[in-house]
């Protein structure tokens, strides 16, 4: 028997500390690092980002976003029987951020685990939740993307530290009588692991390697635009739809130029693309559910519309979820 799954609630949370490009440029200037609002806006489209205060972890942001998604779905934490958190900035090596979120939202007993696919993490998490619901392993999943990327940035490297922000976004995915999720498509290629990575690890009681983000921006850009078009087309083909059926494209929010280029390749006007990168920066696994929640709450996305969610990130990983909202 095929089972359908649909998103019944969305939620998000941004830490209150907001830094405009000018604020960040002023902080960096104190360290002798030069950048400007003009450079950042022109190359990336980013105008501001949010940074979590010291002591606030991904699980704190995730729990807030999760509770808002539960409220929107009209259910409580006790109704959830699966929790998946996508993050590259977990609170600890272990236990998982998902188990911390489970406790913080007041749930217990259901399976809870993290997925690690960097900026594609939410797409991976949503696809895994969908597969588990279809397999009969759960009825109601809470899927969250949450990051405190500010903790892994090198604030001496102006080519990367201006790009990222912190935040969390969440959805409740439930079994339903009608779709719902129409198609999913996931990929990874570890040959490209070095172009975007945080090459550090914990060993023998010390942090070894360099635990801050390293990126070859131009290599990432080239790979990203190719695979974002490819995965969108694959999900459309699996569902028997075409680009014209997409009401909203909700891509990972890395850089406005990657998003413009993807929209152009898919022959979608920019008016059909949900853009938050200007206000949030790149929040990695949180960026897609944050953008989704924003557009649901401001009334742009309405029930019955067809949404293309797609991401690309370190690994390299990429993938998409096509759904009827
Ligand atoms: N402020 C001012 N100048 C800067 C800054 C900055 N923040 N950063 C770099 N520059 C300077 C460089 O030093 C260089 O100066 P030079 O010509 O005197 O040597 C000049 O700007 C150009 O630098 P490039 O690195 O060549 O700039 P580029 O045009 O490639 O833009 C960027 C860099 C924005 C990172 C671009 O490569 C890009 O968009 N890449 C995509 C990567 C991305 O978005 N990653 C996000 C994470 S990946 C993901 O989420 C999938």
211-217 own/partner pairs: CB under 8 Å, 24+ apart: 211/152, 212/152, 212/153, 212/154, 212/157, 213/149, 213/152, 213/153, 213/154, 213/157, 213/160, 213/164, 214/154, 214/160, 215/159, 215/160, 217/159, 217/160
Distance in angstroms (rounded) separating the CA atoms of residues 247 and 22: 35
Q: Using the atom order of ligand 1, give the atom closest to the CA of residue 252.
A: 50
Going from the N-terminus, what domains does the chain have, and what CATH number goes with each? 4-176 (3.40.47.10), 181-324 (3.40.47.10)
Nearest residue (CA) to ligand 1, atom 38: 217
At residue 96, the pLDDT reads 98
Q: Are 279 and 47 in contact (CB under 8 A)?
A: yes
Residue nearest atom 31 in ligand 1 by C-alpha distance: 43
The model's confidence at residue 1, banded by pLDDT at 50, 70 and 90, is low
In the 8-state DSSP scheme, what is residue 311? E
Give 181's strand partners.
Answer: 323
Question: Out of 21, 130, 161, 282, which one is annotated catalytic?
Answer: 282
Mean pLDDT of 135-163: 98
Instruction: Give the torsion sign (CA, 287, 288, 291, 293).
Output: negative
Q: Is the dihedral of CA 324, 248, 68, 165 positive or negative?
A: positive
Is residue 44 lining ligand 1, measured as CB closer than 6 Å?
yes
Q: How far is the CA of 290 from the centre of ligand 1 (A)?
A: 24
Report how far residue 286's alpha carbon sits from residue 313's, in angstroms, rounded to the nearest whole number. 12
Look at residue 30 in the predicted model and tell me its pLDDT: 97
pLDDT > 70? residue 266: yes
From CA 125, how far away is CA 130, in angstroms rounded? Answer: 9
CA of 159 to the centre of ligand 1 (A): 5
Q: What is the pLDDT of residue 149?
A: 98
- Residue 240 makes CB contacts below 8 A (sequence gap 6+) with none
Whole-number Å distance, alpha carbon 115 to ligand 1 midpoint, is 28
Residue with CA closest to ligand 1 atom 47: 254
Atom of ligand 1 nearest to the CA of 311: 51
251 lines ligand 1 (CB under 6 A): no
List the one residue out of 221, 243, 226 whose CA is nearest residue 322. 243
220 lines ligand 1 (CB under 6 A): yes
Residue 24's CB is within 10 A of a number of other CB atoms, namely 23
Q: Is residue 137 in contact with ligand 1, taking CB distance under 6 Å?
A: no
Q: Of 217, 219, 281, 286, which is best to mutate to test ligand 1, by the most ligand atoms within 8 angstroms of its C-beta?
A: 217
Cα–chain-centroid distance for residue 204? 32
Residue 2 pLDDT grade (very low, low, confident, very high; cuts 50, 70, 90): low
What is the per-residue pLDDT across 43-85, written as a single tens digit (0 to 9) for each?
A: 999 999 999 999 999 999 999 999 999 999 999 999 999 999 9
119 in catalytic set: yes
Which of the following is catalytic: 119, 130, 161, 280?
119
Quote the percentage of the chain above a pLDDT of 90: 99
Q: How far is the CA of 280 from the centre of ligand 1 (A)?
A: 18
pTM of the model: 0.97
* 197 catalytic per annotation: no
282 counts as catalytic = yes
Alpha-carbon separation of residue 244 from 233, 247, 267, 274 (angstroms): 12, 8, 8, 16
CB within 8 Å of 259: residues ≥ 6 apart: 45, 251, 253, 273, 275, 277
For 87-110, the pLDDT digits (tens) are 999 999 999 999 999 999 999 999
């Amino acid at each position: 028997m095929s089972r359908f799954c649909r998103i019944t609630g969305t939620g998000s949370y941004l830490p209150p500390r907001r830094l405009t490009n000018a604020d960040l440029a002023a902080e960096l200037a104190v360290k002798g690092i030069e950048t400007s609002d003009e450079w950042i806006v022109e190359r990336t489209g980013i105008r501001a980002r949010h940074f979590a205060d010291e002591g606030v972890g991904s699980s704190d942001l995730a729990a807030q976003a999760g509770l808002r998604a539960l409220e929107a779905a009209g259910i409580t934490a006790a109704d959830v029987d699966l929790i998946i958190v996508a993050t590259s900035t977990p609170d600890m090596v272990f236990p998982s951020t998902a188990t911390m979120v489970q406790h913080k939202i007041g749930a217990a007993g259901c399976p809870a685990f993290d997925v690690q696919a960097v900026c594609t993490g939410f797409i991976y998490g949503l696809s895994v939740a969908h597969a588990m619901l279809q397999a009969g392993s759960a009825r109601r999943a809470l899927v969250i993307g949450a990051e405190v990327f500010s903790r892994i940035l090198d604030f001496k490297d102006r080519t990367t530290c201006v790009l990222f922000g912190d935040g969390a976004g969440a959805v409740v995915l439930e079994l339903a009588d009608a779709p719902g999720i129409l198609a999913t498509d996931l990929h990874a290629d570890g040959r490209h692991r070095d172009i975007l990575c945080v090459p550090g690890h914990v060993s023998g009681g010390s942090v070894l390697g360099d635990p801050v983000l390293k990126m070859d921006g131009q290599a990432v850009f080239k790979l990203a635009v190719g695979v974002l078009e490819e995965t969108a087309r694959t999900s459309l083909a699996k569902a028997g739809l075409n680009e014209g059926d997409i009401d909203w494209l909700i891509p990972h929010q890395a850089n406005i130029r990657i998003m413009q280029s993807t929209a152009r390749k898919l022959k979608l006007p920019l008016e059909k693309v949900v853009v938050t990168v200007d206000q949030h920066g790149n929040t990695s696994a949180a960026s897609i559910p944050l953008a989704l929640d924003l557009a649901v709450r401001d009334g742009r996305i309405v029930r019955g519309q067809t949404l293309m969610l797609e991401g690309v990130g370190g690994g390299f990983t990429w993938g998409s979820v096509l759904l009827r909202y």
